[in-house]
Amino acid sequence: MTGSDFTVLPRHVAVIMDGNGRWAKQRGLSRSEGHIEGAKTFRRIGEYAGDLGIKHITFYAFSTENWARPQQEVAAIMHLFGDYLNEAYDRLEENRAKGIRLRFIGDRNGISKELCGLMDTLEGLTADMDKVNLNIAINYGGQQEITHAVQSIAADVKAGLLRPEDITKETIEARLYTGEQPPVDLMIRPSGEQRISNFLLWQSAYAEFWYSDVLWPDFTERHFDEALKAYEKRNRRFGGI
Ligand code: FPP
């Protein structure tokens, strides 16, 4: 498919990359091997979304709750994330030619200094790009994100920089990790689960959801097309009639 095969494209797509563990279990492999396949799917779908003309896409790579997993699995995910960062750095010119801006959303506390350094470098080196905004959520939690925004607003109120009556929806939005990016139009969750799992809570206030039983490592460009076709048919009323 190409972007022109769709009458309307979502401006912002959010993807919960779920089902890596089950995919591995079905094959008698370790959970980490499931994440290796999941990381390949992430690369393919990220690239495809950009080719279709999706302007903003956010992938959920690691949640604030995922630290509760076995240490070996956490290390494997961080390692795969590091591999991706190094690859993105090696392919910087290629990514810049495609107009890709990289952002990493989530709490940097808890992430290694080395990974944080690479994330800062990549964000800086792609900050002038605006064709495709590729966001990766790492150590991310929607409730934590809103809590941080509230803390920063409270600090400004305390310092006399902001009056409580001047706080608007935009004041809060500007302090979220996604900053000035548009709200989520379409949220994709494979693997049969039908929950939001603390992902982009504020930004998904009016998001359309698309679920499927396919496990993330088996998710293909055709599934992504299917989600976009379903989105095309939705009648979005935003609380109106
Ligand atoms: C959820 O599936 C998946 C994760 C918690 C990790 C996702 C990470 C990657 C795809 C790789 C690293 C990321 C990048 C950006 C290179 P699950 O393990 O909960 O699956 P299950 O529900 O079947 O157990």
How far, in Å, is the centroid of ligand 1 from the Cα of 93?
A: 28
Beta-strand pair 132-140/186-189: unpaired
Pocket residues: Cβ below 6 A from ligand 1: 17-22, 35, 38-39, 42, 59, 61, 66, 77, 80-81, 84, 136, 191
| 138 CA: nearest ligand 1 atom | 15
According to DSSP, residue 231 is labeled H
d(CA 200, CA 48): 22
| 38 CA: nearest ligand 1 atom | 10
SS3 assignment, position 48: helix
- Report residue 85 as tokens: 């960062």
- Pocket test residue of 15, 16, 17 for ligand 1, highest count of atoms within 8 A of CB: 17
| Average pLDDT per consecutive 10 residues, the chain (241 residues; last block may be shorter) | 93 98 98 98 98 98 97 98 98 96 97 98 97 98 98 98 98 96 98 97 97 98 98 87 81
The pLDDT value recorded for residue 176 is 98
AA identity, residue 206: Y
According to DSSP, residue 11 is labeled S
| 43 CA: nearest ligand 1 atom | 16
How far, in Å, is the centroid of ligand 1 from the Cα of 130?
A: 27
Indicate which residue of 20, 51, 66, 185 is catalytic.
66
**Could you tell me which CATH number the domain at 11-145+179-233 has?**
3.40.1180.10
Q: Which of 81, 101, 21, 47 minimizes the C-alpha distance to 221? A: 47
Q: pTM score, two decimals?
A: 0.97
The pLDDT value recorded for residue 239 is 85
- Pocket test residue of 20, 84, 189, 218 for ligand 1, highest count of atoms within 8 A of CB: 20
Annotation marks residue 18 as catalytic: yes
How far, in Å, is the centroid of ligand 1 from the Cα of 19?
A: 7
Domain layout of the chain by residue ranges: 11-145+179-233
β-partners of residue 187 are: 14, 209
Q: Classify residue 95 by burial, with Cβ atoms within 10 Å: 0-12, 13-18, 19+.
A: buried
Which residue's alpha carbon is at the smallest distance from atom 1 of ligand 1? Answer: 18
Using only the alpha carbons of the chain, give its radius of gyration.
18
d(CA 240, CA 32): 45
Looking at the chain, which runs of residues are DSSP E strands? 12-16, 56-63, 100-105, 132-140, 186-189, 208-211
| 84 CA: nearest ligand 1 atom | 16
β-partners of residue 211 are: 189
According to DSSP, residue 219 is labeled -
